[in-house]
Amino acid sequence: MKNNLFSMALEQLDIAAAKLDLNKNIYPILRQPERELTVSVPVVMDDGQVEVFTGHRVQYSSVRGPCKGGIRYHPDVTLDEVKALAAWMTWKCAVVNIPFGGAKGGVRCDPFKMSKEELKRMTRRYTVMVMPILGPKRDIPAPDVNTNAEVMGWIMDTVSMFTGQTSLEIVTGKSIDLGGSLGRREATGRGVMIVTLNTLKKLNMNSGDATIIVQGYGNVGSIAANLLAQNGCKVVAVSDVSGGFYNSKGLDLKDINEYVSTSKNHLLEGYKGDAEPVSNEEILVLDADVLIPAALENQITENIAKNLKAKVITEGANGPTSPEADKILEDRGVVVIPDILANAGGVVTSYFEWVQNIQSFFWNIDEVNRNLNRIMNKSFEEVWSFSKEKRVNLRTGAYMLGVDRVAKALQQRGIFP
């Protein structure tokens, strides 16, 4: 049975809060979102029929700054999932110490069964339905599962048409031509690479000898895999929703990249390279030093945790490890770099994009990556040192740091009125 994601997020919050001994008047505020919006999204499909989709936007906390979080298109989107993701965004922004709160959005649909024009019409209608709570100082969306720079461009254009002025800063993750930041597309995967290499160094493991498994060869997973390979690591297995491939001697990533660049829906399905096929579940328990779950939530369950062989897990996805699995992995001595640190590179560079849009002054790629490296390295060191000092695992340490920062901001602002 699939875990309820919001219950899972609250359980993680509870563990951190108990160790922090939070103010009893502050803690209840942190356990629920500030605002939840569920909207009806009617769309005229290409055949003339009207289909009504359900959309959500949840603003979990604006205590430390405007709410920030992606929008996903997926058949399994639920309000509880969006609430959990918004909570995680809140702690994530606090962990890397950028001035954002947390939000998330989603539409329950199957984008692979929709034409580009249907997706565009759905995006524009969803945007208008949630527009009353959006704004560059209020709530700034970004891409997430099955959304991209093109979708962000449609959102930006829709808001601009309604307000009568070009609003570049209303979303991040846009194309460069529409005010996007250089390095934004690679940022989450680059952040995964940075914290993975930092962890290998802390564990006295040579990156040149390290073997890597990536579950979820999409934007985050593929970029992390290729950057780690450039740093000497050997990627032995990759997968996506269509299945995966394994070669103990290392995969030919150049060949795989060329294949998925032209394959249907850019998936691995049908790849004929020098590798044996594996399922998305099998890939998690293959022999390797580092496992990067970069697909969806709830991938590492109790059963997987018992059989997993990796020494390090870098959570490229949000919520890929269940709380029950977490306990097993800790008992087994597996180092888990939590999602709220590991995949924060995306929101950090979204912050850079937002700043560039507001100032109408754009940075070169070296400046973007230099600042990303600085923030990710500093955040990793803070979480690692804090966790060692408090004698807790990295997830609990990251949560304690993030939650404490949000709680302090809430306490200092006071409760209105």
CB atoms within 10 A of CB 202: 14
Give SS3 for 35: strand
**Burial of 30 from C-beta contacts in 10 A (0-12 / 13-18 / 19+):** buried
Give catalytic residue positions. 104
Q: Check if the beta carbon of residue 55 is closer than 8 Å to that of residue 39.
A: yes
CB atoms within 10 A of CB 63: 21
**Backbone phi and psi for residue 3, each to the nearest 5 degrees, phi listed first:** -65, 145
* Strand bridging mode 35-44 / 50-61: antiparallel
The DSSP string of 185-222 is HHHHHHHHHHHHHHHHHHTT--TTT-EEEEE--SHHHH
Tokens for 63?
């205590």
Rounded CA separation 240/365 (Å): 29
What radius of gyration, in Å, describes the C-alpha atoms of the chain?
Answer: 20
Going from the C-alpha of 76 to that of each of 55, 145, 208, 221, the distances in angstroms are 12, 11, 39, 21
**Burial of 289 from C-beta contacts in 10 A (0-12 / 13-18 / 19+):** buried
Q: Check if the beta carbon of residue 297 is closer than 8 Å to that of residue 273.
A: no
Rounded CA separation 343/345 (Å): 6
CB neighbour list of residue 196: distance below 8 Å, 6 or more residues apart: 212, 224, 228, 290, 292, 312, 314, 337, 342
